[in-house]
Structure 1
């Protein structure tokens, strides 16, 4: 078996060693990256790149939707928000409306910031309880 690209191996290892919360944070970060790229492409009138990046953002939102724990009441609210965000991205893509992308960016940024806080609090609890949180 041939040697894999070391960077690719590092990336794979990085993903497989992350906690579910850290993976969720990575999804939010990726979504923000693709939304930013879509806005730049829209500004440059590059329809293909805009479309690709909006679709990548939608794929991330879809992943967030399917990984929700349906037994948690909050998940129903999150599912509704994710569905709304997805519809807004469809409209942004059709109408070339940067304001709709920015609206979704705002939601994703809030979710990301909340997840950062949750992870930070969890790590603090792990540290103060010796890993028995």
Structure 2
């Protein structure tokens, strides 16, 4: 990709993040989590260990951010959500450290499910405020 195109893409992405609602930012974070988990799984399957590590470590960082910003006591089912994040984190670590395909697949599945759930919640919240 040439420099001008990359620069325009970076500017567009930065603007999308800067103008997104908190709900949309959360969905965007989950979409990146799904992408990283999927890429990590594919890299594990193809034997690209360094690429798998890079993708899975980034996914772990996203989950860590989700865990650290969740006020589990302030929301209904907050403790249960925190437990899901903890489980997802363990699966990502297991996939990365042990090159465990089953753990990688579970991390992808759970990431997708959480992303879909937060996407639906954001849509409902936007409809309720409109």
- Range of TM-score over shorter length: 0.7 to 0.9
The gaps in structure 2 that reach 5 residues or longer are 1-6
CA distance in 2, matches of 1:85, 1:66: 14
What's the counterpart of residue 90 of structure 1?
A: 93
Between the two structures, name the one with larger relative contact order (CA 8 Å, sep ≥ 6). Answer: 2
* Alignment of 1:80 onto 2:115: no
- How far does the alpha carbon of each residue in 1:84-111 deviate from its partner, in whole angstroms, 9 at most, with x for none? 2111111111221111111122221111
* Alignment of 1:35 onto 2:37: yes
Aligned positions of 1:37-116 closer than 5 A:
37-70=39-72, 71-116=74-119
Could you say what the CA RMSD is over the residues aligned between the two structures, in angstroms? 1.4
The gaps in structure 1 that reach 5 residues or longer are 128-133
Normalising by structure 2, we get a TM-score of 0.86
Larger % of helix: which? 2
Which entry has the higher C-alpha Rg, 1 or 2? 1
Between the two proteins, the alignment pairs up a number of residues equal to 123
CA distance in 2, matches of 1:119, 1:86: 23
* Alignment of 1:125 onto 2:122: no
